[in-house]
Amino acid sequence: MTARSHYVAGWRIDLDRRTGPRLVSAAGLARLVAAALGAAGAPAPASIGLILTDDAALAALNREHMGVDGPTDVLSFPLLPPSAFPSHAGRPAAGLTPAPRFALPPGRRPHLGDVVVSVERAIAQADEGRGGHTGSVRWSPADELRLLAVHGVLHVCGWDHAEAVEGDAMRALERRLLGQ
């Protein structure tokens, strides 16, 4: 297990690798997370956690927080309401609610939330040709891991894909951030 903080463009990305191979460099993941935060209009300075783990950990979290048995590829745990972020396609402008200001010790940043990704699931989905959240994208496990990280960060920033319009916009933003 390795944990390390990376500072990029006003954000601190706390990367915690708990298991699995290193598919993507820590610096590369931090830059991608920062790009997703910027694209979503996240407040800065702030911090976010990115935890890379395995199916067993995601299955436990999925059961505890979502009431679903079995692993999933990514879970997000936002700490701010969606209204703290700018509106986007599929989510009408309801007036931006400023991010809550908590009394923090000097030099501390507000925490936006955490994203937990199963490296094991990313590898399996890529190897089986079930990547890209569509179940039909063929690419490397590293590309799948990058997508899951971006996807999770967008969820922390108030994006969702339950409605088709917002889901389409979210997928388009993911592709742009991944350089596709």
Q: What is the pLDDT, as a whole number, of residue 79?
A: 93
Q: Could you read off the pLDDT of 10-31 as tens digits, one per residue?
A: 999 999 999 888 999 999 999 9
Would 14 be classed as within a structural domain? Answer: yes
Would 98 be classed as within a structural domain? Answer: no
Q: Cα separation of 42 and 44, whole Å?
A: 6
Would 122 be classed as within a structural domain? Answer: yes
Section 167-173 average pLDDT: 92
Would 93 be classed as within a structural domain? Answer: no
Task: Domain count for the chain, please give it.
Answer: 1
Residue 70 CB neighbour total at 10 angstroms: 9
Q: Strand locations in the chain, DSSP E? A: 2-8, 11-17, 46-53, 74-78, 111-118
Q: Could you read off the pLDDT of 71-114 as tens digits, one per residue?
A: 999 999 999 888 888 888 877 655 555 555 556 666 678 899 99
Would 169 be classed as within a structural domain? Answer: yes
Which domain, by its residues, includes 48?
A: 2-86+107-177
Would 149 be classed as within a structural domain? Answer: yes
- What type of residue is 127? D
CATH number of the domain that 123 lies in? Answer: 3.40.390.30
